[in-house]
Amino acid sequence: MVAQGFIVDLNKPLVFQVGHLGEAYQDWVHQPIPGKESPRYFESDFWERLTRTKWWVIPIVWLPVVCWSISKSVRFGYAYPQIALMVAFGILIWTLLEYTLHRFLFHIKTKSYWGNTLHYLLHGCHHKHPMDGLRLVFPPTATAILLLPFWNLVKFIFTPSIAPALFGGGLLGYVIYDVTHYYLHHGQPSMAMQRNLKKYHLNHHFRIHNKGFGITSSLWDRVFGTLPQSKAAARSP
């Protein structure tokens, strides 16, 4: 039962509070708190530690897996240009997956207690506290659980010689995505392209959360018509 007028106490663990917001959850979670503090999610220290990950853990854990996976295709005798094309295709597949997950899963509308709770853990927490530096990348434990079905799907669709390089490329795309995501929130880009990408992503957080679902590029937003308008274009009649 949803408590009418329920107010989340930010000084207490958040995860099991947000479900009580019911239909008000969507409005609440998209009103960001821009400070860099890292709120507590769980009473349990064990579960709390699992939610916090430093950005550099991602390349340390997953780049060796990327290299191992790509090397399996190299052993089939493919030339390096062929391997590079497979890896590039894997990265391209990841960018589409990145967009699709962000748009249709991470921004799913919820209003039930457990729906709100699970959404908050998955992505809502990031929109509420977008500058929380310890929760900007995906915990490796959760990633490892998700990788198994993706690997099995790639093996099912592609040949044993091609699948490892494609999977390695997709995993490399994920690593690029996670470290880019951290950089867009906490880095100070000097190049125009990087500054534009940062502006594009922060617009998604602070101006128009139902558009701009890419992270590493705006490619699929352009393809599917979800690229947000600039402020100047939005103001024009």
- Torsions phi, psi for 214 (to 5 deg): -75, 160
Mean pLDDT over 41-65 rounds to 96
Percent of the chain with pLDDT over 70: 95
Residue type, 145: I
Structural domain count, the chain: 1
pLDDT score of 234 more than 80: no
Residue 26 included in any domain: yes
Mean pLDDT of all residues in 166-186? 97
Is 80 exceeded by the pLDDT of residue 24?
Answer: yes
Q: Whole domain around residue 37: which residue ranges? A: 18-97+107-191
Residue 82 forms part of a structural domain: yes
Measuring CA to CA, which residue among 207, 178, 179 is closest to residue 34? 207
pLDDT in tens, 88-109: 999 999 999 999 999 999 999 9
3-state secondary structure 9-28: CCCCCCCCCHHHHHHHHHHH
In a domain, 102, yes or no: no
Quote the pLDDT of residue 205: 95
What are 204-223's pLDDT values in tens digits? 999 999 999 999 999 999 99
> What's the rounded mean pLDDT across residues 154-163?
95
Q: Is residue 226 part of a domain?
A: no
Helix 80-100 with 163-186: angle, nearest 10 deg: 50
pLDDT at residue 147 in the model: 93
For the chain, give the mean pLDDT. Answer: 93
Min mean pLDDT across 2-11, 111-120, 183-192, 217-226 is at 2-11
- Give the CA distances from residue 204 to residues 79, 101, 120, 127, in Å, rounded to whole numbers and listed in that order: 41, 15, 17, 9
Q: What is the pLDDT of residue 154?
A: 95
CB 149 within 8 A of CB 73: no
Question: Would 10 be classed as within a structural domain?
Answer: no
Burial of 177 (0-12, 13-18, 19+ CB in 10 A): buried
Residue 179 in any domain: the answer is: yes
- Supply the pTM of this predicted model: 0.92
Return d(Cα 145, Cα 138) in angstroms, integer: 12
Q: Is residue 200 part of a domain?
A: no
Asked if residue 229 belongs to a domain, the reply is no
